Chain A
Amino acid sequence: MPEMRAIVELCRRMRTVAEIAALLKMPLGVVRVLLSDLADQGKIRVYGTGHGPGQPDRALLERVLSGLRRL
């Protein structure tokens, strides 16, 4: 599938799922399914957000705050 190849190509660098959906002009839900297939085939690696599924904890909020202040 050309879409699958395009995704693998895009993923030469770290991407987010939303970014891939936007660049390929494909619905988020469809991209999720393709990514899941590609991950099963070992062609891509999926990382989480680096924090839990809920709202970010205080330590992370503090980091974002100081990051924004440095801008």
Chain B
Amino acid sequence: MDSVVSDVSRVSDASRSSGLPGTEAGAGFHVVEPDEELKAWQKDRTRAPIATKIVVAGGFGVGKTTLVSTVSEITPLQTEALMTRASEDVDDLSSTPEKTTTTVAMDYGRITLDDDLVLYLFGTPGQQRFWFMWDDLVRGAIGAVVLADTRRLKDCWPALDYFESCGLPYVVAVNHFDGSERFEPDDVREALTIPRHIPVMIMDARRRISVIESLLALVGHALDTSPE
């Protein structure tokens, strides 16, 4: 994902030198942004940090939003809309009866790893009708964490298929929900016929350490599969 910054001082490209500084507030366009303490790289207009990203995918209601919220240093940006009847036909709410909305866009979170290194997390809608967004998202990504719910394991099949076919490194993280049956990683691997070299882990998307461990497993796996 490219970075952008207002250019009020200078331009490096001659073809971009005709514009005037645009510092006027966007009148009539109200942007609600949570307060945050600015990191050093956000204030440096002369260079952008290295931007890396990890995709978080999985079926509906599996905890993608929770995972991103747990580990992001900013309040995750997201678009949630009340589900319409049309999407109720597609999204099966029967096993997550308490959930009344579905994420219709991506959850976007951020972790500053160093002064010049930022990791972005993109929680992507698992529903097939959003697949057109995926090709864009996976370009240049480190890899994907595929979240699975043991109550509906097969919901993550489309995501597994997709990442397997496009060759993006991925790990399978089984989000353990309270009150659901506890599974062993090998049971999940067998049930979903996940290849042996793909890491499978049981985790809790609400616990920061657990989420970081899943991200570590993915980056480690990406390193293992990366050409020397």
Interface residues of A (CB under 8 A from B): 2-20, 22-25, 28, 35, 38-58, 60-65, 67-71
Which A-chain residue is minimally distant from B38 (CB atoms)?
A13
B226/A57 in contact, CB under 8 A: yes
Residues of B within 8 A of A10 (CB): 26, 31
A56/B228 in contact, CB under 8 A: no
As a 0/1 sequence over residues 106 to 117 of chain B, the CB contacts with chain A under 8 angstroms (1 = contact) are 101001011011
As a 0/1 sequence over residues 58 to 102 of chain B, the CB contacts with chain A under 8 angstroms (1 = contact) are 000000000000000000011100000000000000000000000
| Given A5-B24, A42-B17, A50:B212 Cβ within 8 A | no
Residues of B within 8 A of A6 (CB): 25-26, 29, 31
Cβ-defined partner of B222 (8 Å) among A47, A49, A51, A55: A55
**21 A-B Cβ contacts within 8 A?**
A2-B27, A6-B29, A8-B22, A9-B23, A10-B31, A13-B42, A14-B44, A16-B2, A19-B108, A23-B77, A41-B18, A44-B7, A45-B7, A47-B48, A48-B3, A55-B143, A55-B169, A63-B50, A64-B117, A68-B119, A71-B212
Total count of chain B residues near the partner, CB < 8 A = 71
Smallest CB separation, A63 vs chain B (Å): 6
Smallest CB separation, B148 vs chain A (Å): 21
A68/B3 in contact, CB under 8 A: no
Smallest CB separation, B76 vs chain A (Å): 9
Interface residues of B (CB under 8 A from A): 1-7, 11-12, 15-29, 31-33, 38, 41-45, 47-52, 77-79, 105-106, 108, 111, 113-114, 116-117, 119-120, 122, 136, 139-143, 168-169, 212, 215-216, 219-220, 222-223, 226-228
B11/A45 in contact, CB under 8 A: yes
A17/B31 in contact, CB under 8 A: no
| Given A10-B31, A11-B4, A14-B44, A61:B23 Cβ within 8 A | no
Distance of A31 Cα from B134 Cα, bound (Å): 17
